[in-house]
Amino acid sequence: MTLDDRKLEVLRAIVEDYVATQEPVGSKALVERHHLGVSPATVRNDMAVLEEEGYIRQPHTSAGRVPTDRGYRLFVDKLSRIKPLTPAERRAIERFLLGAVDLDDVVHRTVRLLAQLTRQVAIVQYPSLSRSAVRHLELVSISTTRLLLVMITDTGRVEQRLVELPKPTAASQVTSLRQAINEKLAGRRLSEAPGLIHALVDEAVDALRPAMTSLATVLLETVVERAEERIALAGTANLTRGGVLDFQGMLRPILEALEEEVILLKLFSEVDATTLRIRIGDENEFEDLRATSVVSTGYGPGTTAVGGLGVLGPTRMDYPGTIATVRAVARYVGDLLAQN
Amino acid sequence: MTLDDRKLEVLRAIVEDYVATQEPVGSKALVERHHLGVSPATVRNDMAVLEEEGYIRQPHTSAGRVPTDRGYRLFVDKLSRIKPLTPAERRAIERFLLGAVDLDDVVHRTVRLLAQLTRQVAIVQYPSLSRSAVRHLELVSISTTRLLLVMITDTGRVEQRLVELPKPTAASQVTSLRQAINEKLAGRRLSEAPGLIHALVDEAVDALRPAMTSLATVLLETVVERAEERIALAGTANLTRGGVLDFQGMLRPILEALEEEVILLKLFSEVDATTLRIRIGDENEFEDLRATSVVSTGYGPGTTAVGGLGVLGPTRMDYPGTIATVRAVARYVGDLLAQN
DNA sequence: ACTGGCACTCGATCTCGCGGAGTGCCAGCC
DNA sequence: GGCTGGCACTCCGCGAGATCGAGTGCCAGT
């Protein structure tokens, strides 16, 4: 069964009205608010078909219709027109991101901005280490048997780890170590780092081998295990908008999910900087997020994504507006990173 | 009017029962659950007095009694016995904090641990820069006109900032700069840094003066403006426990307050590592937190606090348990920092 | 000073009735 | 064949009683 144009138009009208009013929408209200050029009875027939196809449903017999997840999906894919940002929004984005002084600041500002503009929960992943390249590695002596390893990436992330050395190590040796690891790793992508790190140990001169082994262990941990881990979150208060209506008893599991970094990171697991991904209700992998929709995309200098960002809200959200905002913010952040 | 022992005992019983059941407690239930050795009628008389003094109140005429903020205050100050941690809790704390690899990790684990143990919202302030000392400053050349300034403190915090230099600067000059700032600042407390930084500019040789000026500007910003800013949060989902009962429509403003770092930081503004502060309901400075209680303390190596931590929950909370947990966690974290 | 008894209050819960929005269906119309 | 007006029907939401019971305040008695 293929839906004719008017039925699609009816679906669009239902989605738009429901998103705006948050109340089931009936046939009469529909023809009044949208100039569909047909009578309520006709619309009712169309609605019956749409319901049969699973795009809308009735909360109770003889109430208005509400879009289903499937209905939203069709709306997003076929029916929604791109809603350009208002100049005010563009200005807000620019102003907000302009004053950022470092990566932490950029991420913080971005996540707050997104939450504010979309009035939903915003999530920003820090530039992933595995998609970054090493800019510089620094070793700072804390004592003769302790070094602080500081790794700086081209995306501005700075990771530090304490290294315990097996035996006292002189300053000159630290200098050699520093030189060796920088020669090997500086400018290289972190995805290729593990092999290089192993090589470092193999190539080390005997005197430095024990120290280098400790160092390599810590480096590997940093590069492999902690590669993706950081996430910033804002706007959780927005989950309580719409009162009990949106999430009812579901608020708790959602807040819990939002504190699980593992879950959030999976939202960005396959991002690239040009595609925008939308998960509507059921389409979410995680049980606890089935009452929500997630709009996410990658960001980065150019077209390669170094991280992801997005928003999470009720399935009943303003998709065109949200999509436009997420896209725009991602682009601005990407540009900002490119300037570094 | 001074309250006799039995009245105080009645107040304690009311607080304990109300915290446990979350329901207004009546005279009959009281004598049944606590062996007060008197009849309900007597308890009723006592309750009338307690109510007159403002320690308890009735949600509605002829319902049970509920403690007021003032009642909780009296309970906390005079009536609550210290509740020692269970061995299981001690073990949980140790196990949780043992695996931490760096400061970020310590803070993250701590905040999650606190949230889990108290089943409330946990807040941990990163070691405040102003109470830390500089361990090392590192300059990394990004290009001939750009440096990355990395500051490492004795509490393990690492701050980085990009510095734009007014003109191209050779590697040897960078070395001189690095040496100069480390000589002047390493080992010094950040609270005394501003004066030292100004001196750096004054003492710089002419060739380095412009670069040093840029550097000093950024350093000052880092030390002064960003000194306190970082906060970690966990357990917001716990706010939804007790359903609508605890916070009703107040959830929203509370979540909003929790996203305002300024507000959270004020909670720790006067902490020291040995005192524990409790703000009950009304006693909170912030309007939006008047429905909550905050238990906070400082932590740090020894008795000087380098930061604060605490939990936030409904005024109806298990104060003895919460206090014990917050104290214990703060002590463990302090010890952990001392080991570095 | 404490207790038992008793009348009273008032929130919570249930039912009932009603109004209204919205539907499905049918017969008629273009 | 598709659209429309009409109509009976369903069921939610809401307010008005009615009932129940927990808990109280007060008083007289010990």
Examine the fold and report which residue of A79, A110, A144 is the final residue of a domain before the chain moves on: A79
- How many residues are listed for chain B in this entry? 340
Residues 6+ apart with CB under 8 A from B58: B24, B51, B64, B65, B66
Regarding whether B256 and B116 lie in a shared domain, the answer is yes
Which residue in A has a C-alpha nearest to residue B256's C-alpha?
A: A237
Average pLDDT, stretch A137-141? 87
User: How confident is the model at residue B227, as a pLDDT?
Assistant: 65
From chain A, pick out residues whose CB is under 8 angstroms from the CB of B152. 140, 148, 150, 160
How many degrees, rounded to 5, is the angle at CA A36 between CA A33 and CA A38? 115
Q: Which residues of A225-251 are buried (b: 16+ CB within 10 A; e: fewer)?
A: ebbbbbbbbbbbbbbbeeeeebbeebb
Across the interface, do A135 and B152 touch by the CB < 8 Å criterion? no
For residues A296 and A308, the answer to whether their CB atoms sit within 8 Å is: yes
**Across the interface, which of B102, B138, B236 has its CB nearest the CB of A138?**
B138
Q: Which nucleotide is nearest to A44 (CA to C1')?
A: C23
Out of A43-57, A213-227, A267-281, the most confident range is: A43-57
Average pLDDT across chain A, whole number: 89
From chain A, pick out residues whose CB is under 8 angstroms from the CB of B340. 162
Decide if pLDDT at B195 tops 60.
Answer: yes
How far does B255 lie from chain A, in Å, by closest CA? Answer: 5
The total domain count for chain A is: 3
Decide if pLDDT at A224 tops 90.
Answer: no
Residue span of the structural domain in which A69 resides: 5-79
User: How confident is the model at residue B243, as a pLDDT?
Assistant: 64
Decide if pLDDT at A280 tops 90.
Answer: yes
Regarding whether A255 and A114 lie in a shared domain, the answer is yes
Task: From the CA of B18 to the C1' of C1: give the distance in Å.
Answer: 28
Decide if pLDDT at A287 tops 80.
Answer: yes
Average pLDDT, stretch A141-146? 85
Regarding whether A235 and A115 lie in a shared domain, the answer is yes
Six-digit token string for B282: 């009304």
Q: Which nucleotide is nearest to A28 (CA to C1')?
A: C22
**Among A124-128, A138-142, A307-311, B325-329, which stretch is predicted with the lowest mean pLDDT?**
A138-142
**Among B36-50, B91-105, B314-328, which stretch is predicted with the lowest mean pLDDT?**
B91-105
Across the interface, do A136 and B135 touch by the CB < 8 Å criterion? no
CATH number at B38 reads 1.10.10.10
How far does B27 lie from chain A, in Å, by closest CA? Answer: 33
Regarding whether A212 and A233 lie in a shared domain, the answer is no
**Phi and psi, residue B148, nearest 5°:** -105, 125
Average pLDDT, stretch B15-42? 88
Query: How many CA within 13 A on the CB side of residue B310?
Result: 27
From chain A, pick out residues whose CB is under 8 angstroms from the CB of B138. 138, 140, 150
Decide if pLDDT at B249 tops 80.
Answer: no
User: How confident is the model at residue A207, as a pLDDT?
Assistant: 85
CATH number at A178 reads 3.30.390.60
User: How confident is the model at residue A243, as a pLDDT?
Assistant: 64
From chain B, pick out residues whose CB is under 8 angstroms from the CB of A252. 237, 240-241
**B148 and chain A: CB distance < 8 Å anywhere?**
yes
Query: How many CA within 13 A on the CB side of residue A216?
Result: 20
Residues 6+ apart with CB under 8 A from B339: none
**B49 and chain A: CB distance < 8 Å anywhere?**
no
Average pLDDT, stretch A79-101? 87
User: How confident is the model at residue A228, as a pLDDT?
Assistant: 61
Regarding whether B241 and B157 lie in a shared domain, the answer is no
Positive/negative CA dihedral, B195, B197, B198, B204: positive
Across the interface, do A158 and B158 touch by the CB < 8 Å criterion? yes
- Rounded Cα distance between B95 and B98, Å, is 5
For residues B183 and B137, the answer to whether their CB atoms sit within 8 Å is: no
Confidence of residue A154 (pLDDT cuts 50, 70, 90): confident
**A100 and chain B: CB distance < 8 Å anywhere?**
no
On chain C, which bases lie within 7 A of the protein's CB atoms?
A: 2-5, 8-11, 20-26
**Among A61-75, A256-270, B73-87, B231-245, which stretch is predicted with the lowest mean pLDDT?**
B231-245
Regarding whether B137 and B161 lie in a shared domain, the answer is yes
Decide if pLDDT at A297 tops 80.
Answer: yes
In this predicted model, what pLDDT tens digit does every residue of A82-92 receive, in sequence order?
Answer: 888 999 999 99
Residues 6+ apart with CB under 8 A from B316: B18, B19, B22, B67, B242, B246
User: How confident is the model at residue B228, as a pLDDT?
Assistant: 61
pTM value is 0.89
How far does A113 lie from chain B, in Å, by closest CA? Answer: 13
Decide if pLDDT at B144 tops 60.
Answer: yes
In chain B, count H helices and then E strands.
13, 10
**Among A94-103, A227-236, B180-189, B244-253, which stretch is predicted with the lowest mean pLDDT?**
B244-253
Confidence of residue B1 (pLDDT cuts 50, 70, 90): low
Examine the fold and report which residue of A227, A251, A274 is the final residue of a domain before the chain moves on: A227
Regarding whether B242 and B222 lie in a shared domain, the answer is no
In this predicted model, what pLDDT tens digit does every residue of B214-232 receive, in sequence order?
Answer: 989 998 888 887 766 789 9
Q: Give DSSP secondary structure letters for B157-180.
A: -EEEEEEE-SS---HHHHHHHHHH
Q: Round to the nearest angstrom and report the end-to-end CA distance of chain B.
A: 53
Across the interface, do A237 and B221 touch by the CB < 8 Å criterion? no
CATH number at B92 reads 3.30.450.40
On chain D, which bases lie within 7 A of the protein's CB atoms?
A: 3-6, 9-12, 21-27
Task: From the CA of A77 to the C1' of C27: give the distance in Å.
Answer: 39
Task: From the CA of A337 to the C1' of D17: give the distance in Å.
Answer: 69
**Phi and psi, residue B23, nearest 5°:** -125, 145
Task: From the CA of A62 to the C1' of D10: give the distance in Å.
Answer: 6
Regarding whether B278 and B148 lie in a shared domain, the answer is no
Decide if pLDDT at B298 tops 90.
Answer: yes
Confidence of residue A44 (pLDDT cuts 50, 70, 90): very high
Positive/negative CA dihedral, A111, A114, A117, A119: negative
Regarding whether B144 and B72 lie in a shared domain, the answer is no
How many degrees, rounded to 5, is the angle at CA A314 between CA A310 and CA A318? 75
| Chains A–B, number of C-beta pairs less than 8 Å apart | 75
Regarding whether A205 and A192 lie in a shared domain, the answer is yes
User: How confident is the model at residue A81, as a pLDDT?
Assistant: 85
Across the interface, do A340 and B234 touch by the CB < 8 Å criterion? no
Point out the residue nearest to C12 (C-alpha to C1'): B63
Confidence of residue A248 (pLDDT cuts 50, 70, 90): low
Across the interface, do A161 and B101 touch by the CB < 8 Å criterion? yes
Average pLDDT across chain B, whole number: 89
Examine the fold and report which residue of A79, A110, A140 is the final residue of a domain before the chain moves on: A79
Point out the residue nearest to C9 (C-alpha to C1'): B62
User: How confident is the model at residue B313, as a pLDDT?
Assistant: 95
In this predicted model, what pLDDT tens digit does every residue of A191-214 receive, in sequence order?
Answer: 888 889 999 888 888 888 888 999
